[in-house]
Amino acid sequence: MTLIYQINRSKRRRNLAIKVAKGKLEIQAPWHMPEATIRAFVNDKHAWIDKHLQRQRRQLDALAPRLWESGERLRWLGEPMTLKVATATRKSVERYGAELFVTKTARSQAVKEPRLTIISWYKRQAEAWLDDFFATWPEHHGLTPSTWSIGDFTSKWGHCTRKQALKFTWKLWIAPPWVVRNVVIHELCHLKEFNHSKAFWRLVEQLSPDYQAAEAWLRQHGVTVLNADYLDYCDENSD
Ligand SMILES: [Zn+2]
């Protein structure tokens, strides 16, 4: 199989890097590196690239594109919910067990309104989850953020600023609870170690012993969970 890829050159980059995203291959290369060197590198990593590309494509193919219509599967903390959309005089959103009921107004642009209503539901629920989390987070760890909030990132799960503020994407709460917890702890550890040094990972391991499984989960499922066209994942491990 011939690999099709895009080369992105950067003046700041020193080494070659492979990026497999949304079922596509991208090579990040230093500005002046000869094309032949890049090709040799890609050939060398062919098996690895192929494995990851195929896995991502399988994941994308296994899910239907999100249309925000009745009958679609959504998830809250990994638990599946069936979406039920109806028209009413005003907007509303309510979860009853395994169903999420959303109403849209007759005047709305059909697709946009349930989507925005549901996203704001996720954001409110995620904020409440974080409030509960921090209410029980032990003070003796010495890791206390100045604020926390929910955002809309598409290529990362969360971040920590120099001002000790934590922010997470609402899409994180599509993942199972143990994965969510790991991401929050990861960002909390940045309050002490503003880097990904050995000391940082030691701290993460201490506070979240299963962090490696969570990191693997995020790497595997990020391709569809963070993707606005899917916002879901397949349960079965396709490896
Ligand atoms: Zn980090």
In order of their start, the domains of the chain are 5-62 (no CATH), 73-225 (3.30.2010.10)
Residue where the block lists tokens 């090579």: 27
Phi, psi of 9 (to 5 degrees): -95, 145
pLDDT at 235: 81
Per-residue pLDDT of the chain (239 residues; tens, 9 = 90+): 578 899 999 999 999 999 887 778 899 999 999 999 999 999 999 999 999 888 888 888 999 999 999 999 999 999 999 999 998 888 899 999 999 999 988 776 655 789 999 999 999 999 999 999 999 998 888 899 999 999 998 889 999 999 999 999 999 999 999 999 999 999 999 999 999 999 999 999 999 999 999 999 998 899 899 999 999 999 865 44
Task: For residue range 68-109, list pLDDT tens digits in order.
Answer: 999 999 999 999 999 999 988 888 999 999 999 999 887 766
Report the C-alpha gap between 61 and 59 in whole angstroms.
Answer: 5
166: phi then psi, degrees, rounded to nearest 5? -105, 140
C-alpha of residue 30 to centroid of ligand 1, in Å: 24
Which pLDDT belongs to residue 110?
58
Tell me which residue of 191, 139, 141 sits closest to 165, measured CA to CA: 191
For residue 187, report the distance from its CA to the centre of ligand 1, in Å. Answer: 6
76 C-alpha to ligand 1 centroid (Å):
24
Looking from the CA of 37 toward its CB, the CA atoms found within 13 Å total 10
Q: How far does the centroid of ligand 1 lie from the alpha carbon of residue 38, in Å?
A: 29
51 Cβ neighbours under 8 A, 6+ residues apart: none
pLDDT computed for residue 134 by the predictor? 94
Distance of CA 45 to the CA centre of its chain: 26
pLDDT given at position 129:
98
List the alpha helices (DSSP H) in the chain. 35-44, 46-62, 112-136, 177-189, 198-207, 211-225
Using the mean position of ligand 1's atoms as its centre, give its distance from the Cα of residue 172 in Å.
Answer: 15
Which tokens belong to 209?
């012993």
